[in-house]
Amino acid sequence: MASAHWSCLILALLSGLSQQLESFLEEKVHDIEVYSTKISCKVTSRFAHNVVTTKAVNQANASKEVSFDVELPKTAFITNFTLTIDGVTYPGNVKEKEVAKKQYEKAVSQGKTAGLVKASGRKLEKFTVSVNVAAGSKVTFELTYEELLKRHKGKYEMYLKVQPKQLVKDFEIEADIFEPQGISMLNAEASFITNDVLGSALTKSFSGKKGHVSFKPNLDQQRSCPVCTDSLLDGDFIITYDVNRVSPANVQVVNGYFVHFFAPEGLPMVPKNVVFVIDVSGSMSGRKLQQTKDALLKILEDIKETDYLNFILFSGGVTTWKDNLVQATPENIEEARTFVRGIEAAGMTNINDGLLRGISMLNKAREENTVPERSTSIVIMLTDGDANTGESNPSKIQENVRNAINGKFPLYNLGFGKYLNHNFLESMALENNGFARRIYEDSDANLQLQGFYEEVAYPLLTDVEVEYPQNAILDLTKNTYQHFYDGSEIVVAGRLVDEDMNNFKADVKGHGAINDLTFTEEVDMKEMEKALQEQDYIFGNYIERLWAYLTIEQLLDKRKNARGDEKENLTAQALDLSLKYHFVTPLTSMVVTKPEDFENQMDIADKPGEGGHGDDPLHGLPDGQLPPSCCTLLLCGWGPPLHHPSPRERRCHLLQH
């Protein structure tokens, strides 16, 4: 069938694989004219509400498939999708995943599958929908997603992928930012073009609480060369900003929900005792090891003299630079450089012994008072594979590590490349107050490693606790944090028991480098109302949605290490909230009933399943690269499927034909 062929072509092109298909498609592209693409972003107090609208018309004489794809941040939740054809709107509904899946399976078994919605790059996930549009008809796609922008290294960052694939008459990105604390800096840049070339297409400004960014290239500005018909717009559009911090904290209350932002500035750094536990198994040799060494050498340049450190190398066995942690004196740093330069890789992967050695070294230093009393400890583990010697049962390793750390300091796990069990690394880091990060195998891996280190390099407070009046607050999100790092932000949200309360007091307590500190924030509700009166600018219930977003995110994280009844309870809570607030989370799906066939035809917007992206074969691959074990596929198939596909198979596109 013609439409099936067309749909395959679009997918092939998306994956950037086939030059031949691409040139063939270029001729066909005129059939479907995308005449408008708008990305509208409203940000209120770091909570972003983004709407992507694309309008297209089928110029061909026959009905054609029109495809809409948007890449959105992995940390975002889709909240709405609608399809409008010739004035008739088909809405998307958020349903429990199992319910949605059943409908999807049914459609598949009847040979009526249309797109599924998954594939991902480093920071983004792809949402794809295709629909058949009659000759001469118009179609509008509208996707909404929401996200809490997190502060890293002193700024909030909003990532927009721009890839219209053709010249678009009416193309625009527009962002309105409202921050009650006042905006201190705002920047916008595009990876595909220098700002001066498209100077007039880009405007940005901020003053007081409001910021505005608009990017509106006309057709000529979109051309890749003056006579070209292909688009220059292909890459990332990134907006960054920060807010004023006259006071270390800021509390906002709307409709009975509050959010509390905490990011004090100018505190002295708490000295840290850091142990780098580095995988030097055979698979690390070559570029990965060189990049790791480059990153470590750079980190050594920045390390403060008050810090203590050591390197633990593991392959089949464990070797260490020093027997104990040593202070980062210039002489020791020089010696550390020589050590790092000499690291070589060979052998198996003994994660268990490597980690336990590092942890026991930190414990010993503390017991024997060989590190400063007011210092804090951190373990950073880097590996590129699964444990395959010594204790290699993941749950046993987790148990050993959990018992050894015993809640005393955070563990950060860096997974290098894609041949590893990310779920395991994530789960282990989360239960030890840290997080896991993927390091993508690419030319900039050393920068990714350094970038991660900078986020945790400057602890300003430890054992941070955010306290509210007893009995005044319900449904509080996480309010204790082991570390507060410079350039980040602690966000706590909750619900007031009594909406008519006149004022309340919030305390943040923590241990600083010199003494213990308490930051008190008095919240006067009358003042608050006045401050938030710019109602046309902000979307009304943003704090409630922010609260729901944060709560779901934390429930899903907690769920990763829960079992039995507790897991069921966490799942039930997260599911209830996802359904109530229309969030597409790993527990829900967006189901769109398409007009071609009311009974069966639907698209599903999914988020990758359990534990991040561990089971997604496309995850972590550079755009357009196939995983080694890919798979038969369905996205292209309108005909009866040959067999019942597994979820894994559905994720992959058959591109090898």
Ligand X SMILES: *[C@@H]1O[C@H](CO)[C@@H](O)[C@H](O)[C@H]1NC(C)=O
Residues that bind ligand X (CB under 6 A): 61, 80, 82, 142, 569, 572-573, 582
CA–CA gap between residue 514 and residue 269 (Å, rounded) = 9
CA–CA gap between residue 480 and residue 192 (Å, rounded) = 41
Q: Could you tell me the smallest distance in angstroms from the CB atom of residue 497 to ligand X?
A: 16
CA–CA gap between residue 262 and residue 268 (Å, rounded) = 16
Q: Could you tell me the smallest distance in angstroms from the CB atom of residue 92 to ligand X?
A: 8
CA–CA gap between residue 158 and residue 75 (Å, rounded) = 11
Show Cβ contacts of residue 185 under 8 Å, excluding neighbours closer than 6 positions: 155, 206, 240, 241, 242
The nearer residue to ligand X, 1 or 227, going by C-beta atoms, is 1
Task: Decide: 569 and 575 in contact? Cβ < 8 Å.
Answer: no
CA–CA gap between residue 312 and residue 322 (Å, rounded) = 9
**For helices 330-341 and 287-302, angle between their N-to-C axes, nearest 10 degrees:** 180
Q: Could you tell me the smallest distance in angstroms from the CB atom of residue 572 to ligand X?
A: 4
Show Cβ contacts of residue 48 under 8 Å, excluding neighbours closer than 6 positions: 41, 42, 76, 146, 147, 148, 149, 158
CA–CA gap between residue 118 and residue 613 (Å, rounded) = 11
The nearer residue to ligand X, 244 or 573, going by C-beta atoms, is 573
The nearer residue to ligand X, 80 or 400, going by C-beta atoms, is 80
The nearer residue to ligand X, 541 or 632, going by C-beta atoms, is 541
The nearer residue to ligand X, 452 or 581, going by C-beta atoms, is 581
Q: Could you tell me the smallest distance in angstroms from the CB atom of residue 243 to ligand X?
A: 28
The nearer residue to ligand X, 109 or 573, going by C-beta atoms, is 573
The nearer residue to ligand X, 79 or 273, going by C-beta atoms, is 79
Q: Could you tell me the smallest distance in angstroms from the CB atom of residue 582 to ligand X?
A: 5
Q: Could you tell me the smallest distance in angstroms from the CB atom of residue 570 to ligand X?
A: 8
Q: Could you tell me the smallest distance in angstroms from the CB atom of residue 544 to ligand X?
A: 14
Task: Decide: 541 and 256 in contact? Cβ < 8 Å.
Answer: no
Beta bridge partners of 588: 96
Q: Could you tell me the smallest distance in angstroms from the CB atom of residue 196 to ligand X?
A: 36
Show Cβ contacts of residue 538 under 8 Å, excluding neighbours closer than 6 positions: 42, 44, 178, 532
Element (H, E) at 208: none
525 alpha carbon, distance to own chain's centre: 34
In eight-state DSSP terms, residue 231 is B
The nearer residue to ligand X, 64 or 118, going by C-beta atoms, is 64
Position 253, amino acid: V
CA–CA gap between residue 429 and residue 612 (Å, rounded) = 13
Q: Could you tell me the smallest distance in angstroms from the CB atom of residue 145 to ligand X?
A: 12
In eight-state DSSP terms, residue 283 is G
The nearer residue to ligand X, 25 or 626, going by C-beta atoms, is 25
Q: Could you tell me the smallest distance in angstroms from the CB atom of residue 589 to ligand X?
A: 15
The nearer residue to ligand X, 493 or 592, going by C-beta atoms, is 592
- Burial of 82-115, coded b for 16+ CB within 10 Å and e otherwise, reads ebbbeeeebebbbbebeebbebbeebbeeebbbb
Q: Is the dihedral of CA 492, 494, 496, 497 positive or negative?
A: negative
The nearer residue to ligand X, 56 or 253, going by C-beta atoms, is 56
Q: Could you tell me the smallest distance in angstroms from the CB atom of residue 142 to ligand X?
A: 6
Cα–Cα nearest to 92, from 606, 653, 633, 637: 606
The nearer residue to ligand X, 82 or 290, going by C-beta atoms, is 82
Q: Centre a 10 Å sphere on the Cβ of residue 393 and count the other Cβ atoms it contains.
A: 11
C-alpha distances (whole Å) from 74 to each of 121, 145, 191, 434, 574 are 9, 11, 19, 19, 18
Tell me the CA end-to-end span of the chain in Å, nearest whole number. Answer: 17
Q: Could you tell me the smallest distance in angstroms from the CB atom of residue 135 to ligand X?
A: 8
CA–CA gap between residue 325 and residue 303 (Å, rounded) = 14
Tell how strand 376-383 and strand 235-243 pair up.
Answer: unpaired
Strand order in the sheet with 249-254: 249-254, 257-262, 490-496, 473-474
The nearer residue to ligand X, 262 or 549, going by C-beta atoms, is 549
Q: Helix H segments across 15-138?
A: 19-28, 97-109
Q: Could you tell me the smallest distance in angstroms from the CB atom of residue 128 to ligand X?
A: 19
CA–CA gap between residue 655 and residue 12 (Å, rounded) = 6
The nearer residue to ligand X, 40 or 80, going by C-beta atoms, is 80
The nearer residue to ligand X, 80 or 109, going by C-beta atoms, is 80
Q: Could you tell me the smallest distance in angstroms from the CB atom of residue 79 to ligand X?
A: 7
Number of H helices, E strands in the chain: 14, 31
Cα–Cα nearest to 215, from 197, 203, 233: 203
Task: Decide: 315 and 345 in contact? Cβ < 8 Å.
Answer: yes
The nearer residue to ligand X, 434 or 494, going by C-beta atoms, is 494
Q: Could you tell me the smallest distance in angstroms from the CB atom of residue 470 to ligand X?
A: 19
Q: Could you tell me the smallest distance in angstroms from the CB atom of residue 40 to ligand X?
A: 11
Task: Decide: 3 and 132 in contact? Cβ < 8 Å.
Answer: yes
